[in-house]
Amino acid sequence: MKAPSARGLFRATGKTARPVAVRDEETGEYAKVAERPRKKDGFEPTPAEATEAFCAAEIDRLRGRKIWEPAAGDGAMLRVFAAFGLDVVASDLVDRGCGATVRSFFDFAAPPAHAIVTNPPFHESSWGHGKARWIGHALDRLGVDYMALLMPFNWCGAGGLGPLWSRRPPARVYLMRWRLDFTGQGAQPALHAWYVWDGPTAEGDTRLLMLDRVVLGQGALFGGEPLEGGS
């Protein structure tokens, strides 16, 4: 099912959305269009830098675990996990050639691994459309004991997420210091963060940390740096 376009909402309120710049892959030149074309199945690979920075920060917690990537896509995250020497099992709803098991996340009654690291489908993880059922399925039905999700930083502000947030708050949130470019057309107008559930966490005890970019193979890997006032 094709996701509704925000531009339709603009038109319904009598407002006009600004044109967006789209880069021609052959010439490298940009042109302004009314709406950025959607890729097949709505899929855009996760930039490696996001996964690299996260793995660098959480490597001591990830080593020794089997990790499940249930939205594997074309294997963008899997390649980073391999570079860090992590043990991973992958699945996805669509076969995109990375060797993942083709199976819906919601068809799993038991997890193939008890640690999840992924960029989940937003429409199933947000409150407005999916009522966060993706997250509920992972934490409540599958009972994973570690989960890290790459989400827009403002995701947690949705009012409907209040009960989930108070009942199952994440242990850590890593806010990236840079904007991610999922499309190759220029950075998206939003910051992203990794939300990490890591065992029981009391409401109000979530740690907020800043996450820097890392460059693999060039010196030390950077971890998370607590914000002022963080524990």
In whole angstroms, how far apart are CA 22 and each of 39, 187, 207? 13, 12, 37
> Looking at residues 96-125, what average pLDDT do you find?
95
pLDDT at 71: 96
> Looking at residues 116-139, what average pLDDT do you find?
91
165 — pLDDT class (breaks 50, 70, 90): confident
Quick: pLDDT tens for 68-107.
999 999 999 999 999 999 999 999 999 999 999 999 999 9
Cα separation, 5 vs 173, in Å, equals: 29
Cα separation, 187 vs 183, in Å, equals: 8
Residue showing tokens 């065992």 = 199
pLDDT at 157: 86
The strand ranges marked E within the chain are 20-23, 30-33, 66-69, 87-92, 101-102, 115-118, 146-152, 172-176, 192-198, 207-211, 224-226
Quick: pLDDT tens for 9-60.
333 444 444 565 555 555 555 565 554 455 555 568 899 999 999 999 999 9
In whole angstroms, how far apart are CA 34 and each of 6, 21, 94? 12, 9, 29
pLDDT at 207: 95
Res 219 pLDDT > 60: no
Q: Token pair for residue 8?
A: 């339709």
Res 210 pLDDT > 70: yes
Q: Between 22 and 108, whose confidence is greater?
A: 108
Q: Token pair for residue 211?
A: 């996450």
Q: What does residue 32 show for φ and ψ, rounded to 5 degrees?
A: -85, 130
Asked whether 197 and 146 are in contact (CB, 8 A), the reply is yes
Q: Between 166 and 36, whose confidence is greater?
A: 166
Cα separation, 83 vs 125, in Å, equals: 28
pLDDT at 7: 38
pLDDT at 220: 38
Handedness of CA 193, 112, 3, 164 (dihedral sign): negative
Q: Token pair for residue 103?
A: 């199976």
pLDDT at 98: 95
pLDDT at 230: 39
Cβ neighbours of residue 224 under 8 Å, at least 6 residues apart? Answer: 57, 172, 174, 209, 210, 211
Quick: pLDDT tens for 176-203.
999 998 877 777 678 999 999 999 999 8
pLDDT at 227: 45
Quick: pLDDT tens for 51-60.
999 999 999 9
Mean pLDDT: which of 22-36, 39-53, 143-157, 211-225 is highest?
Answer: 143-157
> CA 180, 44, 18 angle in degrees (round to 5)?
65
